[in-house]
Amino acid sequence: MAAERRRVLVTGIGVVTPLGAGLPALWGAVRRGCSAIRPVTRFDAGGYRSRLAAEVRDFEVADFVDGRKARRLDRFSAFAVAAATLALGDAGIPPGAPCLRAAGVAVGSALGGVAFAEEQHVRFTRAGLRAVEPHLALTMFGGAGATNIAIALDLRGPTLGNANSCASGLVAIGEAFRLIQRGELDIALAGGAEAPLAPLTYGAFSVIHAMSARNRQPELACRPFDADRDGFVMAEGAAVFVLEAAERVRARRTRPYLEIGGYGLTNDAWHMAAPRPDGAEAARVMAMALGEAGIRPEEVGYINAHATGTPLGDAAEAVAIRTALPETWARTPVSSTKPLHGHALGATGAIELAITAEVLRTGWLPPTRNLEQPGDDCLLDHVPAGGTTTSPAAAICNAFGFGGINACLVVRRPEIG
């Protein structure tokens, strides 16, 4: 007889985003409909087809890590450690708490420290190996974000890093959910971090026309589901969550943000850059997560869509939603918040889960900014301009990435007896 699976709750959320650091700053900007999309300032993008990004401004890693240790972190790992530190504080767990010794860490990132490696390669070509930072080898691997969190906070449980493209953050949270659900951990920190704004890294996406070229109208550039969409806008940032077994939360008498009910992971097995047009595997991943959560399609009160503003991706996700919720899609509110915070690749799913947590807490659904005329291939129940107030008991969060990777989490308002 299979062991009973444990319930898993989110008790702390830490974010570093272009809209601000800390959940109150992020949610406040979402409520106001603020967009952080501007012309790129991190490097000269003058000759590029796409020249926009959502950058994290006024970030100082020394606010979270002492000076000597901070110098050993590249921007990607610094975001991860900062978000994890904020999440622990939000959960009311002090640094050095005994429970943290056995805690796990899972952090996803599409590109890890590649931007820092690119910067060091420029130094190498100009001045040779002696000009390169000695800690380069320790920063550029994909698991550096997770391991730096473990070192900074003395977390000695399983440490997982994944590079599952733009699904990475949601995959990390899902895998941590699994470890706690199965009884292998009682607590974990999980999320995504990304710092991709470097000339070659950014340029690689511009060359394949994946990003919007609406450079003269930055705040209007990202247009998920719109008939006039022409690509995504790259961003950076991080979001980390404290996941705990329900019995721990009950014993601590703390108030959780949400319960993770189900997780799904599939692959289109179709194309490295294009989604399966029929959305079959994206639909199946939603059905898997709903089934595990025991949530019927009619109980879903909100879908935070992956929708980035690409012509093929948004259309495929719309088909997938209609397939996964065949009887209820026309009355299930859907929106994408990427026109506000941009697309931070592997961190995006985690950032959007933080927003979804506030949706469940407050009952206010954010609209998709810049959605003026939905494409004929994107027919859904789009949240109206200005947002709407309702009382969703459960929500779907999607994250899809290059290589056909599809991830989905189904979350619900928490109940602690």
C-beta separation of 232 from 308 below 8 A: yes
Question: Residues in the chain, how many?
Answer: 417
Give the β-pairing of 187-194 and 237-245.
antiparallel
Out of 166, 378, 397, 408, the active site residue is: 166
Instruction: For residue 144, give the nearest of 119, 109, 173 by alpha carbon.
Output: 109
Tokens describing residue 236? 């950076």
Tokens of 270: 């179709």
* C-alpha dihedral, 400 to 170 to 105 to 345, nearest 10°: 50
Question: What is the C-alpha to C-alpha distance for residues 158 and 53, in angstroms, rounded to an integer?
Answer: 34
- DSSP H stretches of helix in 263-344: 280-293, 311-324, 338-341
In which residue are the tokens 């978000």 written? 83
Query: 34, 121, 135, 306: which one is catalytic?
Result: 306
Is 209 an active-site residue?
no
Q: Is 166 a catalytic residue?
A: yes
Closest CA to 179 of 102, 286, 255, 96: 102
CA 233 to each of CA 131, 137, 387: distance values in angstroms, whole numbers, following the listed order: 33, 29, 22
Of 174, 87, 115, 131, residue with least CA distance to 349: 174
Q: Report how far residue 100's alpha carbon sits from residue 86's, in angstroms, rounded to the nearest whole number.
A: 15
Which of 99, 135, 209, 343 is an active site residue?
343
Residue 142 token pair: 């994909």
> 397 catalytic, yes or no?
no
How many C-beta neighbours within 10 Å does residue 389 have?
A: 8
Closest residue by Cα to residue 163 from 410, 408, 405, 409: 405
What six digits make up the tokens of 154?
A: 């003395």
Active site residues: 166, 306, 343
